[in-house]
Amino acid sequence: MFDFLAELNPEQRAAATFEAPVPLRIVAGAGTGKTTVLASRVAWLLASGTPPERVLLLTFTRRAARQLLARTETMLAKMPTAGRARSPGRVQGGTFHSVAHRTLRHHAPRLGLSDGFSVLDTSDATDLFDLVRDQHLGAPTARRRLPRKALLLDLYSRAVNTGQPLSDVIAVVAPWCSELTESIAAMCKEYVVRKRALGLVDFDDLLLYWRAAALDPMVGPQLAGEFDHILVDEYQDVNALQVDVVAALRTSDRRLTVVGDDAQAIYGFRAADPAHLLDFELAFPDATTITLETNYRSSPQILSAANAVGAQAPAGFSAILRAAEPERSNGNRPQLLRCADEDAQSNAVCDRVLEHREAGLRLRDQAVLFRAAHHSEHLELELSRRAIPYVKYGGLRYLEAAHVKDLLAAFRLADNARDEVSWFRFLQLLDGVGPATARRVIDALALVQNKTEADADVLARWPDASALLPARVRLAADTAVSALASHAGETVGVHAERLRVAIAPLIEAAYPDAISRLADLDVLVNAAASCARLADVAADYALEPPRSTGDFAGPPLIDEDWLVLSTVHSAKGLEWDVVHLLHAADGNFPSDMALGTAPSGGVNGLEEERRLFYVAMTRPRRALNVYVPLRYHHHPRAHDDAHSWSQPSRFLAGDVTHYFDEHWTPNPDLVLPAANMTAVVPAADVVAGQLDALWA
DNA sequence: TAATGGGGGTTTTTT
DNA sequence: ACCCCCATTA
């Protein structure tokens, strides 16, 4: 018996040491030790002699993979090495997308992909849609405004991921665009053609190509044969495409482990479907199931409240959990804090956070969670005012890193001279070059003149293209472009440094605050040193972008303390001692956006919001504070004052309220809108006096 | 042709 | 507040 198994309960141990060569499904509710079991299982596999590199671990984020493997290492470190395979390899781990990327790099030519293909992140893909869109603006059909570029990509991606016809997707997601369906379809078609011709691969393509490879009679068995064991975490959030890949890789060897909790399925908008977990036997009839339902994380008071929310789901809720230690009642009841408005909410959160810190809890043991990234903006101002350090996860932040994307564009061009998106970005870095000039230069390069021609042939046309640039930037552009070609025998790191030197002057000229940006470029050059090719640096960045400003260069000081702010989506799988949940008001949570026009329809949209709420409630170990501002602004970013008097989230209605202690904060007298309106204040006189004083 | 400013429209979650 | 479109300016 191995040490690390001794701490598991019987079900957990059975899951960790499951031996039959058939698929295993572990249905594991929130806080039931899912991560421990998965890490134990990997440790057990390795301890029993499976070579590490023959284990594939698919997780939802790369961070999850790292955490899991770190725990596996800790478990194994305490053990004698007898029985372990003497292998220098490492467990293969990562997200579906990152493993797909590695696979495609390895087999690119066999899959009909160009060798140095570029991976587009969301902003690159929207840029490409922008290029396509520009062409359509002149078209006769476009009397009306075309949808914005981000919406075009969204429509495209949903159609690809769900397999639904574009017209259906438009009808559900963006009904106001229905009249433009034909134009949109034409643009999607053009987008696909462009990607192929230019050697570009977007997130969806990574999965599509991987599936095609896994199903291919020649390549597929080879890919499948690389692994003895495949383990998939968060299986409730996989989509049909991902299931196809897993199934294709396990046609002969059946050793597959999937772990998930359908009560925590929150990625329906990405075409994920918990049915893949629930109906696992349909795809894998020989499967065995082990269920974990004892919650070791949360206090019984918190757990009961979360269960009560789940119990209100009309179709039932599979993860009604029992507390591990019901006799331990030292936990506090969840708190429901009603606030006058966002100001009051931000103040209340700060006060409570500091209270907990006074009581000896680090900031890092607390988290503030919210439905939408912008929900924390007001709080962030207050945190800054009070000098409370924080790191925010979730939301899109790529715009902050324009200079990073500039150098990455150069890296991508070095591997793929036909990358039109990167050319467009690079050329506009030059002073006096806008969309029109960039367009002409790119036309002169004739990127897709002949699909089989080499990068060198494209670059051979550069002198002609360069002539179209304003004279004063021509030299700088020539220098940068000449740095694209790699020198014989040069390492990737050296090439990266050469590109940095060539691009840095352009970035310095383009951004007013360039000095602080240049350090970020060194981070990229360092990353390049450990990559097989420059395009990989850009792909890594696309597949795992920095999650916060502090994340890029790493936390400034190791032992500094900070509060975590996160969307509920980004908080999946994590836990803290104390959780503050913001904006638990109907309209914000559940989000109005999710109810009417969700991809999977109104009812499903509501149920997904309910599961999201449940995910948030099951993050804390010891204390849960839920905040309900009475008044909130409709347009958080607009200058107008449009607001609503809000109701608490419908998930907090009925029976659920019995599980909460309810407070007004800070003071109920200040809250009621009409209460103070009767007092007459001589405001006109006061203002007049103040103004007069100015001219005195 | 690039840069700039006004006006109108939209507004979630992420690999 | 951001994006998009159009008109004006240098």
What band does A86 get if pLDDT is binned at 50, 70 and 90? low
Over residues A411-418, the mean pLDDT reads: 93
Q: What pLDDT does residue A568 have? A: 94
Q: What pLDDT does residue A672 have? A: 43
Structure tokens at A107: 């087999």
Asked whether strand C has any atom less than 7 Å from the CB of A637, the reply is yes
Q: Decide if pLDDT at A73 tops 80.
A: yes
Q: What pLDDT does residue A492 have? A: 92
Compute the distance between CA of residue A86 and CA of residue A485 in angstroms, rounded to an integer. Answer: 41
Looking up tokens 């504070």 gives A625
The half-sphere exposure of A63 on its side-chain side, counting CA atoms within 13 A, is 11
Asked whether strand B has any atom less than 7 Å from the CB of A157, the reply is yes
Q: Which nucleotide is nearest to A637 (CA to C1')?
A: C1
Lowest mean pLDDT among A6-15, A111-120, A143-152, A302-311: A143-152
Q: Please say whether the beta carbons of A97 and A201 come within 8 A.
A: no
Asked whether strand B has any atom less than 7 Å from the CB of A101, the reply is no
Asked whether strand C has any atom less than 7 Å from the CB of A639, the reply is yes
Asked whether strand C has any atom less than 7 Å from the CB of A696, the reply is no
CA A180 to each of CA A132, A135, A393, A623: distance values in angstroms, whole numbers, following the listed order = 15, 15, 36, 50
Mean pLDDT of chain A: 84
Q: What pLDDT does residue A446 have? A: 82
Q: Which nucleotides of B are covered by protein (CB under 7 A)?
A: 1-3, 10-15
Asked whether strand C has any atom less than 7 Å from the CB of A377, the reply is no
Query: Among residues of chain A, what percentage have pLDDT more than 70?
Result: 85
In chain A, residues 562 through 621 whose Cβ sits under 7 angstroms from any atom of nucleic acid strand B: 567, 569-570, 591, 593-594, 597-599
Question: How distant is C1' of B5 from CA of A176, in Å?
Answer: 29
Q: Which nucleotide is nearest to A126 (CA to C1')?
A: C3
Amino acid at A430: L
User: Is 0.85 surpassed by the pTM of this model?
Assistant: yes
- Residue A567, burial from CB neighbour count under 10 angstroms (0-12, 13-18, 19+): buried
The half-sphere exposure of A350 on its side-chain side, counting CA atoms within 13 A, is 20
Q: What pLDDT does residue A302 have? A: 93
Q: What pLDDT does residue A123 have? A: 87
**Nearest Cα to Cα of residue A233 among A95, A107, A429, A118:** A95
Residue A25 C-alpha from the chain's centroid:
25
The predicted-structure confidence for A319-328, as pLDDT tens digits, reads as follows: 777 877 655 5
Amino acid at A193: V
DSSP state of A120: P
Q: What pLDDT does residue A205 have? A: 94
Question: How distant is C1' of C6 from CA of A146, in Å?
Answer: 15
Q: Decide if pLDDT at A84 tops 70.
A: no
Q: What pLDDT does residue A671 have? A: 42
Compute the distance between CA of residue A223 and CA of residue A190 in angstroms, rounded to an integer. Answer: 32
Compute the distance between CA of residue A188 and CA of residue A190 in angstroms, rounded to an integer. Answer: 5
The predicted-structure confidence for A347-400, as pLDDT tens digits, reads as follows: 999 999 999 999 889 998 999 999 998 898 889 888 888 888 888 887 665 546
Compute the distance between CA of residue A219 and CA of residue A563 in angstroms, rounded to an integer. Answer: 47
What band does A558 get if pLDDT is binned at 50, 70 and 90? very low
Q: Which nucleotide is nearest to A146 (CA to C1')?
A: C4
**Nearest Cα to Cα of residue A195 among A574, A451, A366:** A451
Q: Decide if pLDDT at A81 tops 90.
A: no
Asked whether strand B has any atom less than 7 Å from the CB of A175, the reply is no
Distant-in-sequence, close-in-space partners of A465: CB < 8 Å, separation ≥ 6: A441, A442, A444, A445
Query: Among residues of chain A, what percentage have pLDDT more than 90?
Result: 44
Please name the helix (run of DSSP H) or strand (run of DSSP E) that holds residue A372, with its range, or none. Answer: none
Q: What pLDDT does residue A557 have? A: 46
Asked whether strand C has any atom less than 7 Å from the CB of A642, the reply is no
Lowest mean pLDDT among A2-6, A150-154, A584-588, A622-626: A2-6
Q: Which nucleotide is nearest to A640 (CA to C1')?
A: C1
Q: Which nucleotide is nearest to A147 (CA to C1')?
A: C4
Compute the distance between CA of residue A537 and CA of residue A541 in angstroms, rounded to an integer. Answer: 6
Over residues A277-302, the mean pLDDT reads: 93
Of A255 and A397, the one with more pLDDT: A255
The half-sphere exposure of A625 on its side-chain side, counting CA atoms within 13 A, is 27
Of A41 and A339, the one with more pLDDT: A41
In chain A, residues 268 through 327 whose Cβ sits under 7 angstroms from any atom of nucleic acid strand B: 269-270
Q: Decide if pLDDT at A666 tops 80.
A: no
The predicted-structure confidence for A436-489, as pLDDT tens digits, reads as follows: 888 889 989 888 876 677 777 888 899 999 999 888 888 889 999 999 988 888
Q: Decide if pLDDT at A535 tops 50.
A: yes
The predicted-structure confidence for A259-268, as pLDDT tens digits, reads as follows: 999 999 999 8
Question: How distant is C1' of B12 from CA of A367, in Å?
Answer: 20
Which residue has its C-alpha nearest to nucleotide C3's C1'?
Answer: A148
Over residues A316-344, the mean pLDDT reads: 78
Q: Decide if pLDDT at A598 tops 50.
A: no
Q: Which nucleotide is nearest to A544 (CA to C1')?
A: B15
The predicted-structure confidence for A152-207, as pLDDT tens digits, reads as follows: 999 999 888 888 888 888 888 888 888 888 888 888 999 999 999 899 999 999 99
CA A468 to each of CA A296, A429, A439, A524: distance values in angstroms, whole numbers, following the listed order = 67, 15, 10, 31
Q: Which nucleotides of C are covered by protein (CB under 7 A)?
A: 1-6
Asked whether strand C has any atom less than 7 Å from the CB of A86, the reply is no
